[in-house]
Structure 1
Amino acid sequence: MSLLEAHALSRSFGSTKALVDLSLAVDPGEIVALMGANGAGKSTFVKILSGVLAADSGSVAFKGRAYAPQTPAEASAAGIVTVHQSTDLVGIPGLTVGDALLLNRFVDRSQPFFVSRGRVRREAQAMLREAGFDLPVDRDFAELSAADRQLVAIARALANRAELLILDEPTASLSASESRRLYATLLDLKRRGIAILYISHRTADLAALADRVAVLRGGRVVETFTRPVDFDKAIETMIGRPLASARPDARQAEGAPVFELADARLLPSSEPFGLSLHRGEVVAITGVLGAGKSRLLSALFGAGRLAGGTMRLDGAPYAPQTPAEAIAAGVAMAGEDRHRSSLMPAGWPGETIAETISLPHLSRWYPAGFIRPRREREKAEAAIRRLGIRAAGPTASVWTLSGGNQQKVVLGRWEAEPGRLLLLDEPFQGVDVGARHDIITAIRSRTDRATLIATSDPEEAIEVADRVLVMDHHTISESNAR
């Protein structure tokens, strides 16, 4: 009998179907990985198992009994505990490791009101021994490494008699050595009969740990792979078509690079890497949240700093101190959160399509300081035609547009002027399939510049890029030159 059996789970949010008849079983002592693009249903499934959400239909059985927790506390009491990527809720500065381990008991009204420091130490040490971990119980939680914080969370879960651990991107903030240490811990828990539901975008994690990989697409499990996993096939299953057809015709880099990055370090402790981009080339960097993608783009745009390394633009040294310097050099960037980084607030001057496009170009377009609305309007009309922006006209507020059309306006801002390098951070966030196709077509049609895209979605990277790079722990760890 399986430890966990989910049968035909469905869950909708308005007209959006997050889960559609999802079925999955997990056996005792088995590590099952969930693999799927953003929006495939992984988080919704985990929230149902964790007691955060209820399913609209379907059923879950745990240890042969009906299981429908109303809260995470009920899920934990039943034997299912979720360890999240962020350990912010596991402990805080000022608490010791022992305090963090016993935090649940401190808020349990059945426990004594006064607890001695000696008792905290003894009970915490017993919890760590039972989990098989060696951690200093008197150390401040804030001083622990990311890997040790994960161990504290796992030890606390095991102390609650967890029989199924759900781990959500547990290695996202870990170094390579810390990840290997966590692998050893999880494999030991597997040998002890603990079941693990493991969520990760990292194929290295899945190859090292998973007995089975369940691929989610469109809210359901579409296929399950057993060891050894064919990850090319799994990715094809995840995106719903062959990799070759998903990718555009890759263009070969020719001539001298337009941009070069050598011996770059994003953090003093991270591994150095290099990067070169050619005119007309689209390169995507993918990886989990926190891998360093946004940090890299910010440094290239003058909004952040590298911890080491050198940059060259068309063969000349390039080291912008501000975004204005980057723009003057022909480097442009559309940030991850367009509402905060690219759009003026509703009701403010500059909220129209024409004004949004012209904003970073004002000093060059109007050096005398007198804005010519006709020129603004003409540039906006050209962007509307080229990108297929659905709007009443150039003077329409960007806040009346859909997310996809807003993103087209942001891209139109940098289409309005020639450039050397375009940086796009999560450009398809909140963009529907049709708008995404239009944006990809526009990106790939420009051959006068290089484009570097950061995305946490492998499907997006494959769809848009000539080359796909993988960033892991603040360094580029893999390359798919295609």
Structure 2
Amino acid sequence: MSPIEPSALESTPAVSLRDVGKSFGGKTVLASVSLDIAPGSVVALLGANGAGKSTLIKILSGVHPDHSGQVRVAGELAALQSPLAARQLGIQTVHQRIGEGIVPGLTVAENLVFEELAQQRGNPFLGGRRLLTRAREIQAALGLDWSDAVLRGDVTELGVSDRQLLILARALATRPRLLILDEPTSALSAAEAQRLFTLVERMRDDGIAVLYVSHRLGEIDALADRLVVLRDGRLTEDQAKPFDWDAALRAMLAQAQEATTARPVREGEPGEAHGNVALSLRGVRLFDGRAPLDLDLRAGEVTGVVGLLGAGKTELARGLFGAEPFTSGAVELDGKPYAPRRPGDAIRAGVHLVPEDRHADALVPGWSLAQNISLPFLKSLSRLGLVDTAKENALGRDIIGALGVVARDEHSTVEELSGGNQQKVVVGRWLAETPRVLILDEPFRGVDIGARRDIGRRARALAAEGAAVLVLSADVDEVLEVADRVVVLAAGEVHLDACGEDAQRDRVIQTISASV
């Protein structure tokens, strides 16, 4: 890539997007996004899960070439048809999923010089001492000091943080025009993160544009020159420093007042006018080094937990479900000790979870709706070790009808359904047997407003039947629409537990803002 002339730095954006959009299966994920990223600037990209950040990153990285609108690089119209094409134009991406950036079976040195090996730049037979020398040069740019023994070792022997540093060092070796960092400190220690911050500042001084994606607002406040917010695929905020964090969080987490159907949460104190405590947590620590939390979930009450990515919502859900048991504290279910070591223990106790990632953790591709719905309850549907398919299909029909799932019939596969209807199937599964506690982790992600309201109504109906319902979401309005009570969680600690006027939108957002 040729050097950028100083005069060009002042007038020509490193990368420009004009009316960029992307849809999947008829669902709009990005809508007319226009954005200029100047050379020598750090632009922070914020957005809740499902806002469209990953899709935007993949468009710039050449993963999704079939988008609408235009992308220009250094003023020239760019066809980002592949990740290689994006890299050749000077766009380097360090993805959040570290496994996507390393090549198992190769050495650390070979991974450091992998792009040069793949493109056969210079000597296509680069190897031996020359490869090791080049690897040392690349790691030195990031201040790494791996020994030759480490460089010669298999890359899988590196820890998670070292793998992330390797990917970053490799990206910087090309001196990119735009460097995209997607949650770059998620696996780094404080010292390693500080090293990254110093490097980002040096890149900015060298004229490199940086798109910095992070949920850690303190990092953004320290590093970024500008922040933009995505919500539901649209840019809703664009600020220069100094940042107005209340406005940024409102743009990211809350719908406009006139657009929301959120009802006020009920009046009174948390737990007041509802049933007995169904689930009680005392001294449970979600993250090492953070204060333990106490929390009661009452029968007949919907408790909404709001928090940004990294707040501890999923850790709380998975701990209660036995998927990742808590390492400290005590939990009681209906006054008796409750310590599930696996999800089966939780299911038998009547604690059900709708997980955050329905594709990875809840649905079996190729299986019918009836089979997916009945999966956790095969014992009650079986006789002499054989599933009674008539009962299974009847159960599938019942759940499809109860939640209004749009499908051909119970024999349809999950792949035939829209995202919202897939989510209804996952929720419906846990309605096959009345739960004592129902945990919904980001239940409205990727679903339309109709599906969102159907799921919310069913959650409230279950609470009315005596269940304790826990809804975890990064979206303030989603929680306000369904919850009796709102809890703000940040870094594994409770910062607000309120009802009624004490849990209005502004206070919830201000609490989130003050806790990051």
TM over 0.5: yes
Letter in 2 for 1:134: L
Q: CA deviation at 1:143?
A: 4.8
User: How high is the sequence identity, in percent, across the aligned residues?
Assistant: 38
1:451 aligns with 2:469: yes
Instruction: Give the secondary-structure state (helix, strand or coil) at the position aligned to 1:99.
Output: helix
Tell me the equivalent position of 1:105: 116
1:288 aligns with 2:303: no
Matched residues in 1 for 2:249 and 2:15: separation?
A: 25
Cα 1:444–1:275, aligned 2, differ >3 Å: closer, same or farther? farther
Matched residues in 1 for 2:356 and 2:61: separation?
A: 29
Matched residues in 2 for 1:48 and 1:371: separation?
A: 47
CA contact (8 A) 2:302 2:482 kept: no
Tell me the equivalent position of 1:133: 143
Tell me the equivalent position of 1:210: 224
Aligned with 1:276 (options 283, 287, 295): 295
Cα 1:458–1:281, aligned 2, differ >3 Å: closer, same or farther? closer
Matched residues in 2 for 1:372 and 1:121: separation?
A: 61
Q: CA deviation at 1:136?
A: 1.3
CA contact (8 A) 1:125 1:137 kept: no
Tell me the equivalent position of 1:423: 439
Matched residues in 2 for 1:75 and 1:379: separation?
A: 46
Letter in 1 for 2:304: V
1:433 aligns with 2:438: no
Cα 1:360–1:146, aligned 2, differ >3 Å: closer, same or farther? same
CA contact (8 A) 1:81 1:157 kept: yes
Matched residues in 2 for 1:410 and 1:14: separation?
A: 20
Q: Which moved more, 1:73-82 or 1:136-145?
A: 136-145
CA contact (8 A) 1:3 1:62 kept: yes
CA contact (8 A) 2:370 2:393 kept: no
Matched residues in 1 for 2:286 and 2:133: separation?
A: 41
Q: CA deviation at 1:250?
A: 3.0
Letter in 1 for 2:174: N
Give aligned pairs, total: 470
Cα 1:420–1:219, aligned 2, differ >3 Å: closer, same or farther? closer
Aligned with 1:42 (options 42, 45, 53): 53
Instruction: Give the secondary-structure state (helix, strand or coil) at the position aligned to 2:453.
Output: helix
Matched residues in 2 for 1:191 and 1:39: separation?
A: 33
1:325 aligns with 2:345: yes
Aligned with 2:235 (options 221, 233, 239): 221
Deviations 1:185-238 (A, max 9, x none): 323322333211112334333323222111234544333112232233223323
Letter in 2 for 1:301: F
Residues 308-319 of structure 1: pairs in structure 2 closer than 5 A:
308-319=328-339
Gaps (5+ residues) in structure 1? Answer: none
Q: CA deviation at 1:270?
A: 6.4
Q: CA deviation at 1:181?
A: 4.2
Q: CA deviation at 1:444?
A: 3.2
Tell me the equivalent position of 2:500: none
Q: Which moved more, 1:323-332 or 1:236-245?
A: 236-245
Instruction: Give the secondary-structure state (helix, strand or coil) at the position aligned to 1:278.
Output: strand
Tell me the equivalent position of 2:97: 86
Matched residues in 1 for 2:218 and 2:112: separation?
A: 29
Letter in 2 for 1:467: V
Aligned with 2:41 (options 5, 22, 30): 30
Letter in 1 for 2:345: E
Cα 1:277–1:178, aligned 2, differ >3 Å: closer, same or farther? farther
CA contact (8 A) 2:318 2:324 kept: yes
Deviations 1:106-157 (A, max 9, x none): 233343354454333332333344x352331532444545444333222222
Q: CA deviation at 1:105?
A: 2.0
